[in-house]
Amino acid sequence: MTLHTPRLNPPIRTLMGPGPSDIHPRVLSAIGRSTVGHLDPYYLELMDHLQSMLRGLFRTENRMTMAISATGSAGMEATVVNLIEPGDPMLVCVNGVFGMRMADVAGRAGAEVTTVERPWGEVFSPEDLKDALAAAKPKVVGIVMAETSTGAWQPLEEISELVHDAGALLLVDAVTSLGGVAVEVDRWNIDAIYSGSQKCLSCPPGLAPVSFNERALEVIRSRRTKVQSWYLDVSMLANYWGSDRVYHHTAPINMSYALYEAVQILHEEGLDAAFARHWQNHLALKAGLAALGIEYTAQEGHQLPMLNAVSVPAGVDDARLRSDLLNRFGIEIGGGLGAFKGKVWRIGLMGYGSRAANVLLFLGALEQLLAEHGHAFEHGAGIAAANASYQASRSKPD
């Protein structure tokens, strides 16, 4: 049989949605390097260096810091199924899609799940959790640091103290936050945390950095039952990522090259410099959108710099505008999920994609399309406001 399929020729896009993000050219180059075996001395040495760099990124000394060979959702599964046994009480904070997903994963692992909820776009305060902690007496409390569906940025330090005072472990979703804002695993006393390679790390999707502290590892070692997932069992993965290097699975070698290069790029820039860059571009985008009459949906003071969730202006066709952005300008942004479907745009400024050039390109295209939709605004106002924001940031003393 002869197959007549088109040759691989993906279009060139500017990825400004909720992920994946634009891939740094060095990362794309790294993924094409020569493949070696997953127990080759070169690869084992690379794993050591990658672990060290991931510890720096998470700002932790946790020895059990590694990259799960799967996407960020598998990072969620890995942390949950290792900490939870059937019948364990788990409290999950839900203020968007990914809090809901964590609760679902926990229920599938056999947890007795209690949720505490806030309206979408809002964040949790310690007071929101006090009664639920007292009633549920959870073994694990799960919370999303950067809720990708709403653009809300969750403070963790006070909540961590409250959770540990209640005798529970703190599990954090940092899929969107890692590499874009400070993630302080040791200082905030986070017991288990997971992320993904495709957001602010500007690496293709396919790996999930995770970290477990000693308290979490002791809980895993003391389990009465086997971990639900063989593939994600940390007690076995520890033997592969640890000094013994016991074969567990065939790791995605070339994806590991990509993640290695991506994290190295971040460290070369400097984490604080990267965080400042994300914040500067967020402020410029926010100024430009405000000049066009577009408002953010996340709680003021808790808006993520790398994931800008904004309300679709009245009278504007959400799907049509996003389609025109993609097909006419090659720019991808995300639509709303769940309760925000059809009402919200999610504009990503993640990792390598967090650049002034992308902010100004997007605002220029958006102005043209908004005018076609009959949305009233002063033409050129968005770009002018963004440029003024950049000028103001350059004028500030160090």
Residue-level pLDDT at 394: 82
Whether 240 has a pLDDT exceeding 90, the answer reads no
Bridge-partner residues for 210, per DSSP? 66, 194
- Tokens for 68? 């799960």
Residue 36: left if φ>0, alpha if ψ -120 to 50, beta else—which one? beta
pLDDT digits (tens, 9 = 90+) for 48-67: 999 999 999 999 999 999 99
| Pick from 312, 339, 334, 314: nearest CA to 323 | 334
244 band by pLDDT with thresholds 50, 70 and 90 = confident
For residues 193 and 234, give the distance between their C-alpha atoms in angstroms, rounded to a whole number: 13
273 band by pLDDT with thresholds 50, 70 and 90 = very high
Q: Per-domain residue ranges for the chain?
A: 25-267, 270-395
397 band by pLDDT with thresholds 50, 70 and 90 = low
Please, what is the average pLDDT of the chain? 96
Residue-level pLDDT at 94: 98
238 band by pLDDT with thresholds 50, 70 and 90 = confident
Contacts of 301 (CB under 8 A, 6+ apart): none
Whether 395 has a pLDDT exceeding 60, the answer reads yes
Count CB neighbours of 107 within 10 A.
Answer: 15
Residue-level pLDDT at 46: 95
Residue-level pLDDT at 1: 63
Residue-level pLDDT at 396: 66
> How many H-runs (helices) and E-runs (strands) does the chain carry?
13, 14
- The C-alpha R_g of the chain, in whole angstroms, comes to 22
- Contact assessment for residue 77 and residue 229, using Cβ atoms and an 8 Å cutoff: yes
Residue with tokens 């940092």: 174
Whether 398 has a pLDDT exceeding 60, the answer reads no
Q: Read off the pLDDT of each residue in 109-113 and give the average, rounded to a whole number.
A: 98
Q: For residue 166, what are the CA distances in angstroms to 103, 160, 206, 210, 226? A: 20, 10, 35, 24, 26
- Contact assessment for residue 178 and residue 199, using Cβ atoms and an 8 Å cutoff: yes
Residue-level pLDDT at 288: 98
pLDDT digits (tens, 9 = 90+) for 140-179: 999 999 999 999 999 999 999 999 999 999 999 999 999 9
Question: What is the fold of 25-267?
Answer: Aspartate Aminotransferase; domain 2 (3.40.640)
* CATH number, span 270-395: 3.90.1150.10
For residues 3 and 239, give the distance between their C-alpha atoms in angstroms, rounded to a whole number: 44
SS3 376: coil
For residues 136 and 90, give the distance between their C-alpha atoms in angstroms, rounded to a whole number: 8
Q: Furthest-apart CA pair in the chain: how many Å?
A: 69
Residue-level pLDDT at 393: 87
Whether 201 has a pLDDT exceeding 80, the answer reads yes
Contacts of 41 (CB under 8 A, 6+ apart): none
37-41, 107-111, 239-243, 341-345 — which is least confidently predicted?
239-243
